[in-house]
Amino acid sequence: MKCPFCGHSETQVVETRVSEDGDFIRRRRQCGACDKRFTTYERPDVNFPAIVKKDGRRIEFERVKLLASMSLALRKRPVSIEQVDSAIERIEEKLLNLGAREVPSARIGELVMRELKKLDKVAYVRFASVYRSFEDIDEFRALVDEVRR
């Protein structure tokens, strides 16, 4: 593993931990040249279905994009990183369990909204208002009323 600080190619693993749910391995490494430490994560490499956008383009599923969109909705909300990671893992699991080679982006949007609704109602409303492209205040009011119930 190459050191992210100095680029030296020899690093040593100083600590290894398996996550609580056993889904990944966390390794603390130390560079042999600059002695700085950094963390790496090992996850199984799985093939997620391709994402079909509204315009017909097909793109690769990227966990980072999912995390970014959820983090934007959850900005300044009292939700821990662990809770967000768990929600993303549930979404990934559902995508894999579909067994499909392609999934419409709308399906992923619905999965994200379902998870956000469980995590934080304000984040859910934020995400849904952008995702559903509300045209007027009445659509927004209907969503808020739905959340209140």
Q: Do 37 and 63 lie in a common domain?
A: no
Number of structural domains (the chain) is 2
- Tell me the residue range of the domain where 58 lies: 50-148
Instruction: Report pTM.
Output: 0.65
How far is residue 9 from each of residues 2, 4, 13, 138, measured CA to CA in Å? 4, 10, 13, 58
Nearest C-alpha neighbor of 56 from the set 106, 100, 91:
106
Q: Do 28 and 55 lie in a common domain?
A: no
DSSP state of 2: -
CA–CA separation, 144 and 37 (whole Å): 46
User: In the predicted model, is pLDDT for residue 137 greater than 90?
Assistant: no
DSSP state of 148: H
CA–CA separation, 144 and 62 (whole Å): 30
User: In the predicted model, is pLDDT for residue 96 greater than 80?
Assistant: yes
User: In the predicted model, is pLDDT for residue 131 greater than 80?
Assistant: no
